[in-house]
Amino acid sequence: MLSIKEVYAGYGEIEIIHGISLEVNEGEIVSIVGPNGSGKSTLLKSIFSLVDIMGGEINYLNSNLSQVNTDQMIKKGLSFVPQTDNIFPTLTVEENLELGAYVSKKKLKDRFDLIYNLFPPLVEKRKKKAGTLSGGQRQMVAFGRALVIEPKLLLLDEPTAGLAPMYIDLILEKVAEINKTGVSILMVEQNAKKALAMSDRGYVLAAGEKKYEDSGRGLLENEEVAQLFLGG
């Protein structure tokens, strides 16, 4: 459903990604791993045109994304959870979720129940300002906001970054749960082992280029990958 072909992207004059190709098929969990500075986040951001694209093509459901507005992308089921600053801090939890439904004509209140079921701690916090929540709870709000619109493909930029250990496993469990409901996942993750363990396929990036591509299990068992990138 998503195909990234030979994309070059970066900021202004600085090219960070040098010709990467990548694919996500329906129903899959695909992980992008690699050391810091390898361009993982930039790759994800280029899908939403948040960085400058210098070459290549990104297609989603057979549309070239450079021709499509952000609200169209979202209506077609593409949703993004950034790594940092991914909630509206002075808005309540509920209002954050409402903004997830912004592009839709309907209020999508029934989706809220689904999200509260997925993330029960949010129920008692629904009227609280999102900025007052703990790191893990804020991540739940960020997820919730992206899920309201019933996305087909969810992009996650380091979903466990900065979280306490108990939240890391929790969030990754939730990701798996969300995938079981039919949402495809493309995630950039620092916790490479855990991510690859739950992924159908994975890509290993280094210095802005694709180094390895295989099934999740395949990459985990690949000795070279293990040595270089997964920390043994």
Partner 1 sequence: MALQLFLNGVILGSIIALGAIGLSLIYGILKFGHFAHGDLMTLGAYFAFLFKVQLGLPFWLAFVLAAALTAGTAVLLNLILYRHLKKRDSVIVMISSVGAALIIRNFVLLFWGPQNKFYEKAIQMPIVLGDGLLRIKENQIIILVLALSLVIAVHLFLSRTKLGKAMRAMADNIDLAQITGINTERVIIWTWAMSGVLTAAAGILLAFDTHLTPVMGWNLLLPLFAAVILGGIGSPYGAMFGGLVIGISQEMSTLIISAAYKPAVAFTIMILMLIIRPSGLMGKKV
Q: How many CB atoms lie within 10 A of CB 23?
A: 16
Our finding on whether 139 is near partner 1 (CB under 8 A) is no
Our finding on whether 143 is near partner 1 (CB under 8 A) is no
HSE toward the beta carbon, residue 32, CA cutoff 13 A: 29
Is the torsion defined by CA of 97, 103, 105, 111 positive or negative? negative
Quick one: which segment of 77-85, 168-176, 178-186, 207-215 binds partner 1 (CB under 8 A)? Answer: 77-85
Our finding on whether 74 is near partner 1 (CB under 8 A) is yes
Coarse DSSP helix, strand, coil percentages of the chain, rounded to the nearest 5 percent: 40, 30, 30
Q: Which is nearer to partner 1, 8 or 88 (CB)?
A: 88
Contacting residue, 70, 108, 118, 211, with partner 1 by CB under 8 A: 70
Contacting residue, 37, 131, 135, 182, with partner 1 by CB under 8 A: 131
Contacting residue, 53, 54, 68, 103, with partner 1 by CB under 8 A: 103
Residues 6+ apart with CB under 8 A from 180: none
As a whole number of angstroms, the distance between CA 131 and CA 205 comes to 33
As a whole number of angstroms, the distance between CA 230 and CA 223 comes to 10
Our finding on whether 94 is near partner 1 (CB under 8 A) is no
As a whole number of angstroms, the distance between CA 66 and CA 103 comes to 19
Contacting residue, 13, 14, 67, 85, with partner 1 by CB under 8 A: 85
Our finding on whether 220 is near partner 1 (CB under 8 A) is no
Check residue 129 and report its DSSP letter. Answer: B
Quick one: which segment of 90-98, 159-167, 182-190, 199-207 binds partner 1 (CB under 8 A)? Answer: 90-98
Please, is 102 exposed, middle or buried when counting C-beta atoms within 10 Å of its C-beta (0-12, 13-18, 19+)?
Answer: exposed
Residues of this chain, 164-193, that bind partner 1 according to CB under 8 A: none
Our finding on whether 209 is near partner 1 (CB under 8 A) is no
116: helix, strand or coil: helix
Q: Which is nearer to partner 1, 16 or 51 (CB)?
A: 51
The footprint of partner 1 (CB under 8 A) covers 48, 50, 70-71, 73-75, 80, 82, 85-91, 95, 98-100, 102-103, 131, 145
